[in-house]
Amino acid sequence: LSSQRKATREQKQGCPLGSSSDPALWNLASNGILHHDWKSNVHLQAFADDFVFVVHSTPEQTSQILLRKH
């Protein structure tokens, strides 16, 4: 969430809620993500079986990223 607008992404695939595979898949996926050496402007928070990434950037950096996508 920024002062300009929300940043969201719809999730269409994943492990079914309550699946017996949930804990094992979470452990496999999360280990590398949690131990990765992220840049100083990237903050990672894990909640239960979810990740939240907060990335700080200047308006100029954001504009450059958006221009590269289009």
Compare 50 and 10 and report the one with higher pLDDT. Answer: 50
Q: Which backbone phi and psi does 51 adopt, to 5 degrees?
A: -115, 145
15: helix, strand or coil: coil
| pLDDT tens by residue, 3-49 | 666 767 676 766 566 777 778 888 888 888 889 998 888 899 988 77
Decide: pTM greater than 0.75: no
d(C-alpha 29, C-alpha 23), whole Å: 10
Alpha helices in the chain (DSSP H): 22-34, 59-69
In this prediction, residue 37 carries a pLDDT of 92
User: Residue 1 pLDDT more than 60?
Assistant: no
Asked if residue 34 lies in contact with residue 42, where contact means CB atoms within 8 angstroms, the answer is no
Helices (H) and strands (E) in the chain, counts: 2, 2
